[in-house]
Amino acid sequence: MVRLQCAFLVVVQTLVVGCKATGMSNHVTNAGGLAVTGGGSPAQPKGAADALFDPTVLHELRFTMPPEVLAAQEKDVRDSAARLRAGQPKGSQDFKATLKVDGEAAGTVGYRSKGSFGTLANCFDPVSGESICKKFSYRINFAFPNSEQNYLGLKFINLQSMSQDPSLMREVLSLKVFRDAGIAASRSAFAQVYFNDEYKGVFTLSENVDDEFIAARWPDSKNGLLYQEAWPISESDQYWQSNLANHKSDAAPLSHATMKTLAKDLTGQDKVAVLRHYMDADYMARYMYADSLATNYDGITRFYCGAVSSPRPDCYNHNFFFYVLPETNQVWLIPFDLDGTWAYHSKIVDTSQFIQKAPHWNLIPTDCAQRFEVWGGVHRPAGCDPLIQAVNALGDFYRIGVVERLAKGPLDLQKLANAVDAWTVLLARAVQTDPTVNYEQWQAAVADLRQNVLEERIEGYAKCRTGGFGKSTVRGGYNWSRDHQDLNDGSICWLGKSSH
């Protein structure tokens, strides 16, 4: 274990929001007749696992397993990738290992490959089957083989390979941004990982979104429903049941009334009222600012509609959860898998084509049947989605206030840049010996990340405060000729309806 001793590390305090969303404080009834009450803001988790998720510490995780088990797991990774490419469930299974964390025995665990197309299926050449990625992501199961087992109160943790992030920092930084904005987001840190004493490199160690995650943030909530990557677009019980992330073994039929009615009510005219009945408007505005600040190009604002050759009529987004508080029927949005962030105009990972072709979420096109080609697929403008429209309809008078509170406090950009500097010192020696990373390329990627965080965004924030960005038309079409090449346009200022 390596602990960072660095005088310039700034610890960003959790935001305490002073305002409360109108309409959430009293017992109300929405258009669908479902009662919703206020309260229930997520708490900051405290407990035995705090040290494990300390981002100033470089942890060491050592897995030991028989060689035949390691070989079987490596074959399972290939098989899972092949099934994904064939359009089938990946069907990965847990393999047995013993684990030491920072030199201390953590017991017997299960481990399995983690990921979907970006970090698993695309890691193998579809013709030769040869591995393209140098390392893979894993989910560690502390409740294996006994479901009652845990480690520091955790049943699962995730080891993210960061195979698509040459800086190795984007997810940790993005999760920090969400947490510091007061959003229920995973705690995360860095770890050196060994399999049978073979160094596999630097990974991100992150908290799994599960019942233990929920209990740490809503300790008074009991048996609420957690949905993975199910957006409020359907009134079908089957849709919501198939996307449950918990309660999968319950024998009795479950009621998905809250999410079904939310989907129905969002089709109405007064989307702001619906948002405030089901959700905390201030929380959602902070979520969208954190999402935009981190340039999350693979999160809730990216709606994929299949391949150019065979577009789908339905479009989907991913990398999120919804949690429904059973005591109040309030709905809370939770982000996860945030390695696809901080990449505007990146010299290392060029996503400018993607960003330029997909309108920003606060721009509502006249024709929502329009699609944009992205990475060989098609994309629907996020501004056409009813829930995104509800947040957008809060207005700049509301959102700019959120930006001011965050940008001058917990998300001060200099503090974020200081964190990147501190992690650079923390990781440097481990990266130098990482067999999966080119050290010079890592240094260049970190420099690029810091420039995006500090120089470009600080400059952009100053520019938007002085009215430097162009004015856009949101309703009735969008003006694509405005300063869209600037990475901060819309992301930092949210000037879609401002007077600047």
Q: What is the pLDDT of residues 315-329, one digit of tens each?
A: 999 999 999 999 899
What would the mean pLDDT of 132-156 be, rounded to a whole number? Answer: 90
Residue 4: per-residue pLDDT: 52
Name residue 469's amino acid: F
Percent of the chain that is helix, strand, coil (3-state, to 5): 30, 20, 50
Which structure tokens are listed for 382? Answer: 């996020």
**pLDDT digit string, tens, across residues 72-113:** 998 888 888 877 777 777 777 899 999 999 999 999 999 988
Instruction: Look up residue 456 and give its DSSP letter.
Output: I
Per-residue pLDDT for 7 more than 50? no
Q: What angle do CA 468, 474, 478 make, to 5 degrees?
A: 85
114-118, 421-425, 464-468: segment of lowest average pLDDT: 464-468
479 has a pLDDT exceeding 60? no
Top-ranked range on mean pLDDT: pick from 332-341, 367-376, 450-459: 332-341
Q: How confident is the model at residue 485 (pLDDT cuts 50, 70, 90)?
A: very low
Q: Which of 164, 63, 52 is nearest to 107 (CA)?
A: 63
Please check the confidence at residue 405 and state whether its pLDDT lies above 90: no
Nearest CA among 99, 104, 173 for reference residue 139: 99
Per-residue confidence (pLDDT) for residue 477, from 0 to 100: 30
Residue whose pair of structure tokens reads 């470009």 in the numeric block: 456
Over range 8-28, report the average pLDDT.
Answer: 31
Q: What is the percent of the chain where pLDDT is above 90?
A: 48
pLDDT band at 267 (very low <50, low <70, confident <90, very high): very high
- Are the C-beta atoms of 324 and 221 separated by less than 8 Å? no
- Average pLDDT, rounded, for the chain: 80
**355, pLDDT greater than 90:** no
Distance of CA 194 to the CA centre of its chain: 26
Q: What is the mean pLDDT of residues 274-298?
A: 90
φ, ψ dihedrals at 490, nearest 5°: 90, -40
DSSP 396: H
